[in-house]
Structure formats: C-alpha cells, structure tokens
C-alpha cells in the first residue's frame, strides 16, 4: 500500500489529471491512486508498459492530456524498488510526451 495515502490524495486533487504507469495490473499504492481518482471524478490514464510500446504510449498520453485539458499532471506508478526496469521505460515515455 502507498506509504502516504494523504499525500497521494492531495496530489490527485491538486492536479488536473493522473498518469499511472505499471508493468501489469495495478496493485498497492497504484490501485489506491486509481481508486481515489475515480472517487473524486478526476481524470486518469493507466499505461501498462507490458501492453504498449513507448511511442504508442506517448501518443495516447498526449491525446489524453489535450482532451482533458491537463495543465498540472500527477505521475504515479510502481516503485523502482519493486519494479527495477520501470524508471527507464517511464523516462522514455515522458521524454516523448510533448
């Protein structure tokens, strides 16, 4: 579970939308993040890096950002300590997001 649920909720509420990265289904703090976004009718997008390539993910994220008028983006996802390859993949996706 998320180490600080109050901080997670504040980040969701103070942003225009949340981008959640994972390798596979959402669990723990990432699932909690989705739950809080849903409960507060805040837009979110889940990018499962097992199912989508970097270029496709960045294109989908760009479209989602435009369609939801996202100015302040909250980025969440698996911890590198539990998913050692996620950092580099997320970095690649975010670098391609305009």
Span 3-35, pLDDT tens digits: 689 999 999 999 999 999 999 999 999 999 999
Q: Does domain 5-96 correspond to CATH entry 3.40.50.450?
A: yes
Quick: pLDDT tens for 40-68: 999 999 999 999 999 999 999 999 999 99
CA distances from 96 to 45, 89, 93 (A): 16, 11, 5
């Amino acid at each position: 579970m998320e180490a600080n649920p109050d901080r997670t909720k504040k980040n969701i509420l103070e942003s225009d939308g949340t981008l959640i990265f994972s390798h596979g289904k959402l669990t723990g703090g990432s699932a909690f993040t989705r739950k809080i976004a849903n409960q507060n009718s805040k837009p979110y997008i889940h990018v499962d890096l097992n199912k989508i390539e970097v270029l496709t993910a960045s294109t989908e994220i760009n479209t989602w950002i435009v369609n939801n008028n996202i100015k302040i983006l909250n980025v969440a996802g698996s911890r590198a300590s539990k998913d050692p390859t996620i950092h580099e993949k997320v970095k690649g996706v975010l670098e391609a997001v305009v």
